[in-house]
Amino acid sequence: MVTRFANWLNERTGWRAVWEAIFLRKVPKVNWFYTLGSATLFVALNQAVTGILLTLYYVPTPDHAYDSVQYITTQLPAGWLIRGLHHWGASAMVVLAVLHMLRVVYFAAYKYPREFTWFTGVFLLIVVIGFGFTGYLLPWDQKAFWATTVGTQIAGTPPIIGDFLLRVMRGGENLSALTLARFFGAHVWVLPAALMLLVGVHLYLVIRNGISAPPRKED
């Protein structure tokens, strides 16, 4: 029954070829460090699921942000868990992405023909850090407020354009409702779109080029 449906679907969609390309491709003999990319992808999935759930209750305005986060954490069933997964997942994301990058460097996997995969990875790391930076403000507590004050101040340090950059990030002179709203917008719309696009290209290239074997001494 299941096989018959799978065949029926395959005839119309060709899903088996896609499945084989993704999961049944040949890989060289590698070690556990080669799972760090998948681990990062898994945590990204966790961030997406828990993040979507958080937006069901979170309200990004100065008069509601803090209270809605408290409501999620203390009143809702499993709210503490959803928020906790998102909170710790954020740190795990950065750690895993960096470890994955170190593995690629250490095993020289960035070389021909995988340079472009590396570039997309670099942008992915920037996106991940952007997620961390914008997400940090959203709970709208003292730590969030002052961390973003300092963070945007740093963006304001370059000569000539610094002041303009700072104003663009804050949406004005000071941290305000505008800052919170634009950080939220960046966190839930702009960055996820960028992430999905880049992950798509990154994974396509991993599958197309195959993964590199650990280099030997003689190479």
Q: What residues make contact with other proteins under the rule CB under 8 A?
A: 46, 49-50, 53, 56-57, 64, 67-68, 70-71, 75-79, 81-82
Name which of 78 and 126 has its Cβ closer to other proteins: 78
Least Å distance, CB 176 to other proteins, is: 21
For residues 201, 206, 209, 210, the Cα torsion angle rounded to the nearest 10 degrees is -160
Name which of 30 and 129 has its Cβ closer to other proteins: 30
Q: Look up residue 174 and give its DSSP letter.
A: S
Name which of 33 and 57 has its Cβ closer to other proteins: 57
- Do residues 69 and 59 lie in contact, with contact meaning Cβ atoms separated by under 8 Å? no
> For residue 121, what are the contacts with CB-CB under 8 A and spacing of at least 6?
100, 101, 104, 202
Least Å distance, CB 81 to other proteins, is: 5
- Do residues 68 and 59 lie in contact, with contact meaning Cβ atoms separated by under 8 Å? yes
What are the angstrom distances between the C-alpha of 74 and each of 39, 55, 67, 208?
30, 16, 10, 47
Tokens 């460090």 correspond to 33
Tokens for 29, please give them.
Answer: 């003999």
Least Å distance, CB 169 to other proteins, is: 28
> For residue 124, what are the contacts with CB-CB under 8 A and spacing of at least 6?
97, 195, 198, 199, 202
Name which of 24 and 150 has its Cβ closer to other proteins: 24
Name which of 71 and 110 has its Cβ closer to other proteins: 71
Least Å distance, CB 54 to other proteins, is: 9
Least Å distance, CB 192 to other proteins, is: 18
